[in-house]
Structure 1
């Protein structure tokens, strides 16, 4: 029954898209409006935690911190303290800033660490002790609180501690995810102890799920802040687990980790200003390039998801992802020609080979010519508070349940973010992305990411808080949500549920959501030379839209169990 319900929910969203007028300002069951403040996350209890913090007088940053720790309890496949992420803030005084708490490579890491006898061994960067980068979440939350928090840090961790101690009832999807990965969990002692039920049968919907060791870990963080994770008991447990599983992370790696404040990338389109997480997020450059390439085209007149529209946007995606593979990496390690990549003249040249009647071949599309000498499993949440402060956060373990290694005695999963580096030039990572030397493994380097938290303003007022989950599909899902609202004036529920398409240069496939394209549209795209591939879904976006009257819409993606909460 739950499977039928979720399938029906998505199909109903398609009905709304095609049969409600695009100018409608109505609401759907997964789009709710609030007068003062709203939180949208991938899990209902986490959304409720964030909303309560706001009602207690906390600001958007306070709520984001509380949500992050709550998701580590209720969404262990993606919410985390053993991974990393990005935060973009737009404050009511006009300040725009970004926080990079992305994982880093251990100090003993090197470019050949996943080669054995000269051959690339993919599983080494995806499961087990060698797969994990140094976690950044806890340092990031402490850093954000130190600069912008208002309530005591301890109060922000307490809801997560309570959820871990007292437990929560598993949803159908939560139980199914745990059951699906049970075979992999059994390879590791901690994962078996925490995530395989004592009765040794499948988890059931409605079953109470308690996490005593995770509660103790969270209590140490609440009591001691950063030191409660990167030093002392938790650090000892983490390093012991990593090294027992053949990894190289050390106490020095943990002690040296620091999150970094950066300036967002700014893009402008149709009167909107987008503030996007900068590198090592690749989404900022890619989305900004795509919008720059699209500026001279009449998108609305083409029609939503018409063959002409899909063809054009796909060709811009193809070129942006080709540039991503070549130019982008950790800005503290590589020289990214950001100004040139975003220049109108450069993006005009990128479109000189665009043919409105024929698809480009990806193996004939390389990075653009820039003269250097001249100058996942992921989850996203969006928050806006009663004073107008907005926060967009995307956080990840990379694959679902990360490396599949849970820290014995501490109760949390470690990430497998090392797979986001270029483990071997020319070899695709777990998401099929081809990456270049700019993203090669180096000690203490941050791996390139597709996470793209974004805040959109118009006339200095916040209009959208965007972001998504889903590996490289994050970039295109975030782009679609923006275009759906900015170009096609879709109401919030329609904008987040509308069928998406995705192209990432390599593999040379245009992916579309099942039931999202008509037979005629697919025929026209094939005639233009596109290789089509269907997908169950292309990203999960949990979004806030604000209308001109200031009414705040929390739009949870119908492709997941997300929820909005507010007042």
Structure 2
């Protein structure tokens, strides 16, 4: 319908009318006029460089692009490769970069139409400044970075897909209903399942959300404002050619999941299959802890002990693991596309030929 009738079919036509009726029946607040007034925004992607690679991520209010850039700018000047990927020093440095980037995320990021975003956040200079505050042997207590706010919760129930065609054109797409099944309301006659993404806002200062957590000033709810999310679909290029397409679901862990895969590929030179499958780590400033997938695995017992000696608190990830990074790497010599489906959730890597497309 949208392909033949354009966006008005959704915002002003029969779909909009059906949605407005369903909203009213469900005691929702979105009206037909709200649908007609809504405008999609096309914003430039966030561009970062990392060891000679160009990394392109989403613009605000998807926080992933800016947050990932802040982490990469720190890690680029830190001695990551001196040790192995799961050496305590490496995990410590990555966690500290994550801590600092997520701190800045909470303090400053929101819809850029409503919030003034500091220009310095994604600069190399600021990345170096943050990196220089990292103690190589000791964890930085999160509450020393700033007074402690509690952060709004984000659901991990999101979906990501990565695509590369025969000409090298790439798509990295992350989309979400927020919680499982969103609002659990289907617009009659359409098959459209409505999300509950509004839960990512902080309604008013001091207002607790459904889990009793309070968000920060930049993401307060306002009419016409878009809520902050953690979506981080990225495309990586080297010498102008696409080399990697990465993204993941996972709520607030999304950006760190993408960082894990990216660092595994670009710093530790893992093939994509290994980069996606190995254990992941996550630190989001508050709560002040490293979530490590294999925290109870005897093979990582020494790592866990060393990190605790540095002052870190460690927990495990969720039962299904951290994220689900269905990703693609492109061999720079053969141009072969290598798709990898993450074992943590359902999904698959699929190749389609021209003949298959024609026959379908």
Task: Give the alignment's TM-score, normalised by structure 1.
Answer: 0.57
Change (3 A) 1:424 1:352: farther
Higher relative contact order, structure no. (Cα contacts within 8 Å, ≥ 6 residues apart): 1
Question: What is the root-mean-square deviation in Å for CA atoms of aligned residues?
Answer: 2.1
Structure 1 partner of 2:233: 453
* Greater share of residues in helix: 1
Which residues in structure 2 correspond to 1:60-459 (within 5 Å)? Answer: 220-221=1-2, 224-337=5-118, 339-366=119-146, 376-425=156-205, 435-459=215-239
Gaps of 5+ in 2: 148-155, 354-360
User: Contact 1:485 / 1:495 at 8 angstroms: preserved in 2?
Assistant: yes
Q: Distance in 2 between matches of 1:427 and 1:534?
A: 29
User: Are the counterparts in 1 of residues 77 and 128 from structure 2 also a CA contact under 8 Å?
Assistant: no
Aligned mates of 1:496, 1:430 — CA distance in 2:
32
Change (3 A) 1:506 1:287: same
Q: Could you tell me which residue of structure 1 aligns to residue 291 of structure 2?
A: 511
**CA distance in 2 between partners of 1:431 and 1:463 (Å):** 40
Query: Hey, what's the Cα distance between the residues in 1 that align with 2:168 and 2:213?
Result: 37
Cα distance in structure 2, aligned partners of 1:480 and 1:268:
16
Structure 1 residue 318: Cα displacement = 0.6
1:266 is paired with a residue of what secondary structure?
Answer: strand
How far apart in 1 are the matches of 2:51 and 2:213?
Answer: 30
Equivalence for 2:312:
530
C-alpha distance in 1 between matches for 2:215 and 2:193: 26
SS at match of 1:351: helix
Structure-2 separation of matches of 1:547 and 1:554: 11
Task: Report the TM-score, using the length of structure 2 for normalisation.
Answer: 0.88
Cα distance 1:428–1:559, how it changes in 2: closer, same or farther (>3 A)? Answer: farther
Distance 2:76 2:193 in 1: 43
Deviations 1:160-196 (Å, cap 9, x if unpaired)?
xxxxxxxxxxxxxxxxxxxxxxxxxxxxxxxxxxxxx
Higher-Rg structure is 1
Distance apart, 1:305 and its partner CA? 1.9
Question: Post-superposition shift, 1:428?
Answer: 7.2
Runs of 4+ in structure 1 off by over 4 angstroms are 220-223, 424-434
Q: Following TM superposition, by how much is the alpha carbon of 1:266 offset from its aligned partner in structure 2, in angstroms?
A: 1.0
Deviation at 1:246, TM superposition (A): 1.9
SS in 2 for 1:446: coil
